[in-house]
Structure 1
């Protein structure tokens, strides 16, 4: 007996079968592609660390270049290296929102508008042939106009002179706050100083067009993007200050990290 293809039951049966097949295909693709997605995410993370430190080279893979980078776990509160977690499996992005290893920040301390600060995180070191520190790369983040900007700042061996800065994740307005990705804007950072002679955070991202190029501490802000500019200024000051990495940097200089 032929089926009535115009019947409600037949239409629902066909629709269900199509949905089931599509669901199986999508689920299978997600499972198969998951390892590739994770690998690509790790590669992008490492690429941004290398870029902030000026270590990218044509003709070499990210993995080859990252062999020169030493990943270490630190306790931000004590400013010391830590072995509390396995650095190979530690996820610094997840740690930033883990309530078991983060602390709530008071309004006066939270100039970067991140609400919570993790106790443990990763830092990245590049050493010379004799084991001497050449570059220190630190993770930074803070709120701009529309989003949290996640990135890295790299310092020279004096732990004061900036090698570079870059953001790998944000949702700022293209052409305005999104200009944090503009190579021309980022080119201002190398050579600038973070701390003054007293050890206070002096580096400043000013209002667009007002920075003195000869001033060792001033970065020209983003034209037409005042709130993003203020956000970058605040997040750099936060992470280079006492609530951020300054205790670690001081210990590292003194050999007590």
Structure 2
């Protein structure tokens, strides 16, 4: 009996020891890998921003250094306050985590008209100004997100300096059904956004993701995704919210009045 107890104690000691060693190893690896993970996450975001700005082709292979150099040369990130539309100084726009800020009650609020089902909206957001070789703004990129059928879908909306004409709508994170809602990433569907208008002559949000061919052929319409009504609605609601008063409306108004620099 004593031998059995001794054997059990020894086995337990070994198991506990192995668990402790493994936990230390995993924790150490997580700490050591965190800077690399954050760097890769930032690089991935910059790649999608460059794609939205037509500075790289999503189909071509680009190196890490090419992404970094192109982004640094042509893209200027700014943190803006959504309520005022003014730039927020003293904040690193390239590392500002808007998603994290939206989860903190101290830096976010519950939207009054949560049509995009985002639950909370951060007080501040990042916008990206894309310049040409001469320093002239050629594109403004707005991050937008909203809930589709299964997931929150994140995208970069690139518009002309008039803040009305669409250049690109690039979804970079979504969990919709492959072949249906997942087609938000299909180049054929993405191409349908180019040249579309977001606002009517009265300044109202007019862009429509629609099943009506007659509307889709107008400057304000884009074909809805076939067989993915709720995902298409999610795209519509995302744009309606983020182009509205609780989104980028105040920034857009100021930018149109000479705020782009």
Q: Same fold (TM over 0.5)?
A: yes
Instruction: Determine the structure 2 residue equivalent to 1:220.
Output: 223
Q: Deviations over 1:65-105 (max 9, x none)?
A: 11110011111111222216343542222122221122222
Please, which of 161, 184, 190 is the counterpart of residue 186 of structure 1? 190
Please, which of 148, 154, 175 is the counterpart of residue 179 of structure 2? 175
The 2-side partners of 1:121 and 1:59 are apart by 28
Instruction: Determine the structure 1 residue equivalent to 2:238.
Output: 235
Structure 1: 5+ residue runs without aligned partners? none
The 1-side partners of 2:150 and 2:185 are apart by 15
Instruction: Determine the structure 2 residue equivalent to 1:91.
Output: 97
Instruction: Determine the structure 2 residue equivalent to 1:141.
Output: 145
The 2-side partners of 1:145 and 1:211 are apart by 26
Q: Deviations over 1:112-131 (max 9, x none)?
A: 11122222111000123443
Q: Deviations over 1:192-226 (max 9, x none)?
A: 1111222211111113x746553211111111111
Instruction: Determine the structure 2 residue equivalent to 1:70.
Output: 76
Instruction: Determine the structure 2 residue equivalent to 1:123.
Output: 127
Instruction: Determine the structure 2 residue equivalent to 1:250.
Output: 253
Aligned length, in residue pairs:
252
Conservation of the 8 A alpha-carbon contact between 2:102 and 2:109: no
Instruction: Determine the structure 2 residue equivalent to 1:18.
Output: 18
Q: Deviations over 1:173-194 (max 9, x none)?
A: 2222122122221111111111
Q: Which is further off, 71-80 or 49-58?
A: 49-58
Matched position secondary structure for 1:80: coil
2:148 pairs with 1:164: no
Sort the Cα spacing of 1:13 and 1:52 in 2 relative to 1 into closer, same or farther, 3 A: same
Conservation of the 8 A alpha-carbon contact between 1:5 and 1:11: no
The 2-side partners of 1:226 and 1:15 are apart by 53
Deviation for aligned residue 1:250? 1.7
The 2-side partners of 1:97 and 1:131 are apart by 35
Sort the Cα spacing of 1:240 and 1:5 in 2 relative to 1 into closer, same or farther, 3 A: same
Instruction: Determine the structure 2 residue equivalent to 1:101.
Output: 107
Matched position secondary structure for 2:169: strand
The 1-side partners of 2:180 and 2:14 are apart by 50
The 1-side partners of 2:214 and 2:229 are apart by 14
Conservation of the 8 A alpha-carbon contact between 2:209 and 2:216: no
Instruction: Determine the structure 2 residue equivalent to 1:34.
Output: 34
Q: Select the structure that is richer in helix.
A: 2
The 2-side partners of 1:120 and 1:174 are apart by 33
